[in-house]
Structure 1
Amino acid sequence: MEKINTTVLSNTSKRDLDHSNVHGRVILITLYGMVLVGGTTGAVMMSRLMFKRSTRSMIATIVINIIVLHSILLVSLPFRLSYYVLVTWELGSFTCRVVSGIIYGHMYFTFVFYVAIVILRLLIYFKKLQMQQLKKYHGVVLSIIIWIVGSLIFLPIFFLQYGVHPRYSEQQQCFEFYKDLNRTEFIIMNYSIIAVIMTMVVTLFLIQMVVIVQLMKALWPDMWAHQEYRAQIKSFFFLLVILVCFIPHHVFRVYFIQNYTDRKDSELVFYNEICIALTTICCLDMLCFVSGVIH
């Protein structure tokens, strides 16, 4: 009788797991599909808009970098969608690592460029920089520095540490590199990144709120007529994108590291995948600009 009950419970658990997997894949397919369509539309429309205006400002140069990052991520999304639809990976372990690594590279590089825009506008507001001093070549130099420094940090981790364990090449599954989180060096690296990002975001958010409140008091009720106020609102929008898209992933990552066990039926894996998918929603930022959501 006990053996029969165990078998029944096992079968029930398996059916629940299968249902959960299907439900999770539907959510992921929906999220990535929405980002692919909306992000591509926004990137194309924003690119055409900037080409027509021939903007030469430093901020515009940084925005171009963000569009490039979004485009790289959008190219990789069909591979993710095909995997969640077919539930098998036929393109080899290295391709899986590349597609998986792109989503993290996109997140961190985009975060840096977002922060660069916010800091530049805050420096201009506090009279530490003059807008007239910021030329296009300053943006180009800053962009090159970010790409070089970021690549020197990211690429060695990707090629030497990320998903290199032989067990990953022996299966037709992909995007399961979270199993490496039980390694001490990865735990330390993740906690360090999370601490830096959280500290930076909280600090910038508080400063940005103070600036916006000061401008509202000084310019009320015609604050929308002033370019300075609109510029700070755009910076605030980028901070909101970080809070909505990037912070949930990093907050959950702390919980994931502390509670993950190497079990295939762990619900934490599903929630982790959802948080990773949420980071791609930032690709809709350009669509918000061109559609008039953010003026």
Structure 2
Amino acid sequence: MPLLLLGQCRVILITLYSVVLLGGTTGAVLMSCMMFRRKSRSMIATIVLNIIVLHSIILVSLPFRLSYYILDVWVFGTFFCRLVGGIIYGHMYITFVFYVAIVILRLLIYFKKLQMQQLQKYHAVVLSIIIWTMGGLIFLPVLFLQYGVDPSYSEERRCFEFYKDLNRGKFITLNYSMIVIMITTVMILFLIQMGVIVQLVKALWPDMWAHQDYRAQIKSFFFLLVIVVCFIPHHVFRVHFIQNYSETNSSELVLYNEVFIALTTVCCLHMVCFVGGVIH
């Protein structure tokens, strides 16, 4: 493995995780204060609180990742390695589901398929319980009973080397399935969302920012944009990684894969955008 490339990737990972840890923690605290101050009981607000909880979980795990890339050795044991490694994937996919839920809810309201008055707080609570339960039932058994169980993971106090499991057929199928589901879902919602925004611009120009419907759809577009920027690059690269990975000669692929995985945590910074007024 080229030492220069290894050093550059470590610097990128340390910088990226540090920025996310600092910015994400600031955003989570400020966003939580703002949400509790408003005391909103809407379904969207409840989903946003779930997203804050998810971001808080990944933020708690980042100092352990930073210590690994700074010290270049894992000192917290094999089980905790699998736990910290699994959190980043669980965070990505469950956050994705909550983002999609917000977009779909707002589209249903826009197309008059759902009335805001029909959405009570208990609906949001039930939806949250369903998403967390499904996420737990799907990802926990896979991450803790299947991924990272090879004895070689604990040989040299290394961590986050679960890509070795890609030689197993069922994990290749699982990865391709998740890639197809995420990209297809985002493409469909992105096209619908853009169509809605164009319609609203035509109908409300030039005072569209004064209308709540337009602002709501822009917020939905922002969530889709976060998915495209943070989650899609990892899944696109994942296809190339699966097709070209081998245990004997894939050092550069492994480093690039770590960078794309780190990019998924950047979604935590969206809270700073909301608190700072970038998205009103």
Calculate the TM-score normalised by the size of structure 2: 0.98
Query: In the aligned structure 2, how far is the partner of 1:266 from the partner of 1:72?
Result: 30
1:252 positional shift: 0.3
The residue number in structure 1 matching 2:170 is 185
Query: In the aligned structure 2, how far is the partner of 1:102 from the partner of 1:59?
Result: 24
| Residue identity opposite 1:128 in structure 2 | K
Q: 2:187 aligned with 1:232, yes or no?
A: no
Query: In the aligned structure 1, how far is the partner of 2:54 from the partner of 2:223?
Result: 15
- Higher gyration radius (CA): 1
**Which residue of the other structure, out of 203, 207, 215, is the alignment partner of 2:200?**
215
Q: Which runs of 4+ in 1 moved over 3 A?
A: none
Query: In the aligned structure 2, how far is the partner of 1:18 from the partner of 1:263?
Result: 17
Q: What aligned pairs does 1:43-192 form with structure 2 within 5 A after superposition? A: 43-192=28-177
Percent identity between matched residues is: 75
Q: 2:280 aligned with 1:291, yes or no?
A: no
The residue number in structure 2 matching 1:254 is 239
What is the alpha-carbon root mean square deviation over aligned residues? Answer: 0.9
Query: In the aligned structure 2, how far is the partner of 1:47 from the partner of 1:91?
Result: 30
- The answer to whether the Cα contact below 8 Å between 2:51 and 2:98 also exists between their aligned partners in 1 is yes
Q: What aligned pairs does 1:5-16 form with structure 2 within 5 A after superposition? A: none
Q: Which runs of 5+ in 2 are unaligned?
A: none
Query: In the aligned structure 2, how far is the partner of 1:48 from the partner of 1:263?
Result: 50
CA distance 1:211–1:265, change in 2 (3 Å)? closer
Query: In the aligned structure 1, how far is the partner of 2:191 from the partner of 2:249?
Result: 41
The residue number in structure 2 matching 1:200 is 185
- The answer to whether the Cα contact below 8 Å between 2:83 and 2:144 also exists between their aligned partners in 1 is no
| Residue identity opposite 2:214 in structure 1 | Y
Q: Which runs of 5+ in 1 are unaligned?
A: 1-13
What SS class does the counterpart of residue 247 from structure 2 fall into? coil
Calculate the TM-score normalised by the size of structure 1: 0.93
1:159 positional shift: 2.1
Paired positions, count: 280
What SS class does the counterpart of residue 162 from structure 1 fall into? coil
